Each structure stands twice: as C-alpha cells, then as structure tokens.
Structure 1
C-alpha cells in the first residue's frame, strides 16, 4: 500500500479512500493502485483511511466519521509541515465507507476545512445510502431486519434504521440526508457526485440502496437486454438506457427454472446448515463485538481514545472468522424476494406520495407530503419512467423515501454495474482482492478514472 499512497510535495490534490464494514485499508489497494497508475505522485496525494479497520467498523457512522475527519486533518497538516499545500479534495467511499465519508465531509464543512479547498469528486461504490433494511413486507424480510439490526452493534442499528441519532429522534440515515444538515451542505460542495451500483448478486447492499432508487428494474435479468457503455461492455450499463425489456414469453406460465431454484439455494443452506450449527457462534461473536464496541465508544466519549469528541460535536444543522460470519450474513440477506407497495404503478408524483403513505402505515408511521424536486436530468427522469410504467415501488420505510427525495437534489451520475464472473459482486466491484474472478472490477475502476474522476 505504501507504494501507492502518499504523494510528493508538488501534489495539490488529496484523494481519500474509505473502506467498508469488516474492512481494512487493503480492501482499497486496487483503487489506490489504479489511481497511482493514472496520476503520478507529483499530481495526486492519496490517503487510505486506516483508523476504522476491522472490528472498529462496528462502532457506528458517527464515530467512524470522526476518525476519518481526524485522519484528513492530520494529513493536511503533515503535508503543509513539509512545505506542500493541498488545494483540491476528493473522497471515495466503499460500502459502509460511503456513509462514514459523508459524515466526515459534514464535519470538515462545519469546521471550515472545506472553505480552503476545492471539492472535486465524491464517489460512492456499492454504498448503502438508504441503509440495508430490506423492503418491509414478508416474514423473511422482517426476520432479517430484526436479526441484522441487533447483531452488528451500533453500525447495525444505524444501517437498519432503528437508531435515534443524538437528540434528533431520527435515524442517522435520515440526518445524513437532511437538506439543512452540515452533511448535505458539505456534500453539495463537491463538483461531481458519482456512484456505482451492482445490479445483481450484491449480497451486502442491493441495487435500490446503492443506486438511491425506489424501484429495482433488474430483478429479472432474463427478461432484459442489457445496453452497455461503449468501451466498457458487459460491465458498465448505459445510465440513460440501461436495459431494453423483452416481450413476455408466449403460452402459459413459465415453469420454475433451475436458475431461480439455484438462486434460492443460499437461503435453504442458511436454514439447514448455518442456523442450527453456526447461529450460536454467530450470536456469541456478535455479543463479544458489541461489548468491545461499547467499551471503545465509552473511551471515545470520555476522550481516552486519542480524539477529543467535544471538538467534533458541532451543530448538525445549517479476518477468516469475520469473513465466514460476513458470508453467512450476506447469504441470508440475499435470499429473500423484495416486497412491493400495492399502489406503485402510478402516473404522477401525487400517486408516488400515496404509495409512500402506504409504506408509512405498514411501518407504523406517517408519510411526508413533500414533493420530489424536479428537473434533475436524464437519469432521474429515467428512474421515474421505470417506476411508473414498468416497475413497482419497493416497500421501503418512510425514512428511506425521505432520503431518496433529499439525495435526488444532487446531480448524481449513476452507473449500474453487472458483474458476471462471481456471485459476490459486492467485493468484485472494486477488486477487493486481486483474483481472476474479480477482474471485471478493473473495468469499473478504469471507467471511473477515465470518465468520471476530475483531477
């Protein structure tokens, strides 16, 4: 990693890479290596965040964001002490790291750090902007939401939206997307907002949350013809025209295909193998990590963890065992079918809001009548078209619909990604490990560097 990170005294652009849950800096090695191959040390300084490695990712988005903010400030000070001067900032967040990075950006904005920098690129790769709460209906979804929220410590509570952030009474996912918060104001300062979302086999963060969408047009890829970006075929879908819908087959109902049966195999294996054999170890590990995480949070709050938390509590408004647990958790996550709202084939924004009202009733809350901002470009128009004419609205929670409306005010450049070679696309999309089955992720990185990254 040392060969790719850092930079020379001439570099005036800092790019920060933030890994995800259960992650470590090595997960961002391919991103750093690709950046360095494209931009020499005299042009670009690379910082791979490291304070949230491993089990420290259990400690929540707030604490993780404070750690990343400290790392960025320390890096800026160190560069300046050597005679350098950073003038431009870019941030890349992978998976949970996208949410942690957004929190850190809000702090940098509130502390005036961004006032001295030109904010260039914010890139999210397979990042769960809406959390990972599965659509609300169905026993499998409800079981997953209850179990997942209580086995991943504070990060789990926040990703599943059952937390109440500070004195807001709202989940942190909602606060991060509040138009009046430091987080949205800081994020809006970036010149370009880009995201990459897997359309299939992302067992950690499905398409709707990584693409900030209330529909998922890729649930049945056998009925679609994919349209790829020229030069990035078979991996990067055209964001303006990703798919062409094929006509339904002639004749009677289709028999259950072997492929569909195979797609449910992880769920059956989880029920017959993981649940009776591994659940005790899984819950025991979760309990241990919860205790350890709680201790770290208490140390942090008392100022004994090397960071003075009071200076970052600004006004918000203006390894093998772990990998085994991760695989089991993701298999359960990916096994159940999405649920939809009954009134989703709407023809107007008013009907969209009515459908969201149904979600509020199902969730036990109330919907927000605030209208989605118009005129956000071709990608948003395409999502609306898909939502009304072809795709039912997913049964998301009200706070998730609220986050979609707020985040849509930013001009996101959204790229659907179709990974074919491996059934774990969440790791392959950015080549989390160097192996042949993850090679399609290099196409994603090449597209990002050649088409999206502004130096």
Structure 2
C-alpha cells in the first residue's frame, strides 16, 4: 500500500487493518515506508526506485509469498506504476514449448519480481497529470491560474511537482508521466500493468479539490455522471 504526496504509513492504518481483519492468515499487508513526508517531493522516478527496492526486500523476508497486489493513493499510484515497471519479469517462454499447457498463468503473463500479479488499484491518482483545465479543481478552472501553477509548482512540490505538471522533460525528451504509458528501455511499465489479473482506478466525482475526476478515472468530461 503506497501513500500519496506528503503522506505517511499512518494514512493506510485503517485500510491495512481491514484487510487483515477480512483475510486473517491469508495476506501480508505492508504499508510502504520508503516514501513518506518530504521524501515524497523527490520525484516519482526516485520514489519508484525506492519502492521497488522495498518490495524486493519484503519478498526476501517472506519467501512463502506467491502473489502480489498494489494499492496506491493519489501520487502513490504513479509511484507504484513506476515500481512495477522496474520489478517486471517477462514470461518464461524459453522453458516451455509453444502451446504447452504446462506453463503456469503467471509464467505466461509475466510476473512482478517472480510473483503472480493479482490486483493493481489506484485511488484518486492523477494518471494524466495535474496540468490542464480542471485537473486540479481548487484552481477553479481559470486558465490563467492553471498556467501560472505550471511554472511555480516546483517551488512547492519540487521535482515531484514537475512530474505532475509535465514540465520535467529536457529538450527532445518526453515527460515521465507520458513515458509511463509504454515500455521504456529496461522499464516495462505497460507490460507490468498487463500482468495483473485486475486493474482498477477509483476517482472522486466531487469534493476532491486536489485531483480532478478526469485525471483520476482516465475519462472524458462528457463521461462524468450527471
């Protein structure tokens, strides 16, 4: 479970307790500890690398684990998307003949650090970034204010702010959030997502003043419930 910007492990305390309560002795619930408070301002890629290292260490401490799921809140969903791109392992097609029924589903789909990928869930995560009309509701949809925010957000949220507002790209480069929609070198972002049996995004239709409905649900404004 991955917290959002300026968040801590305490943000997931209630949720973690409910998982354990509903599935006692069946799940290992871990609230990420590597990216908390001001460390969440270091950039999505830096946090993603930290999370990937944390997951590897957690798996090593729990060798009985066979499956893995991620739940990310707000920016934590983007961090988790980066981390799984680093942790992705391709299908072991070289160990089985084509068309063989002996390969496990995990092997045929690829794995996340050797584990079968089950659920990838994000809650109020700005998948499309925070740049654009009404992507950050408390800016009131005023174009002038939204443009100013693009240039000053890094003063508040530092490198993470640049990533969220898509201003991190150097000349001839693509912003990080746009790179997350494809495989990029040794980071297999989309291949990793495709390994999960279930993928879900949850968005607040109203009263979320930080993350707009469109960017959290990856939907057009015309799809907003009446």
TM-score by length of 1: 0.41
1:32 equivalenced with 2:11 (yes/no): no
- Helix, strand or coil: the match of 1:48? coil
Structure-1 separation of matches of 2:57 and 2:218: 32
Q: Which residue of 2 aligns with 1:43?
A: 26
Structure-1 separation of matches of 2:172 and 2:49: 19
The partner residue of 1:164 within 156, 169, 179 is 169
1:192 equivalenced with 2:171 (yes/no): no
> Contact 1:149 / 1:162 at 8 angstroms: preserved in 2?
no
The partner residue of 1:66 within 41, 44, 49 is 49
Specify whether residues 77 and 28 from structure 1 end up closer, same or farther in structure 2 by C-alpha distance, changes over 3 A only: same
Structure-2 separation of matches of 1:77 and 1:160: 36
- Helix, strand or coil: the match of 2:45? helix
Structure-1 separation of matches of 2:213 and 2:154: 20
The partner residue of 2:177 within 173, 180, 196 is 173
Specify whether residues 212 and 99 from structure 1 end up closer, same or farther in structure 2 by C-alpha distance, changes over 3 A only: same
- Helix, strand or coil: the match of 1:119? strand
Q: Which residue of 2 aligns with 1:230?
A: none
Deviation at 1:70, TM superposition (A): 0.8
Q: Which digits, 9 at most, give the CA deviation of each residue in 1:9-55, with x for residues without a partner?
A: xxxxxxxx000001000011121011111110x21011110111100
The partner residue of 1:133 within 131, 134, 144 is 131
The structure having more radius of gyration, on CA atoms, is 1
Alignment size in residue pairs: 198
Deviation at 1:89, TM superposition (A): 0.6
Q: Which residue of 1 aligns with 2:66?
A: 87
Q: Which residue of 1 aligns with 2:7?
A: 23
Deviation at 1:58, TM superposition (A): 0.2
Return 5+ residue gaps in structure 2 as ranges: 91-109, 135-141
> Contact 1:158 / 1:172 at 8 angstroms: preserved in 2?
yes
> Contact 1:21 / 1:97 at 8 angstroms: preserved in 2?
yes
The partner residue of 1:148 within 153, 166, 182 is 153
> Contact 1:57 / 1:64 at 8 angstroms: preserved in 2?
yes
Over aligned residues, Cα RMSD in angstroms? 2.2
TM-score by length of 2: 0.81
Structure-2 separation of matches of 1:107 and 1:204: 28
Deviation at 1:94, TM superposition (A): 0.4
Specify whether residues 189 and 35 from structure 1 end up closer, same or farther in structure 2 by C-alpha distance, changes over 3 A only: same
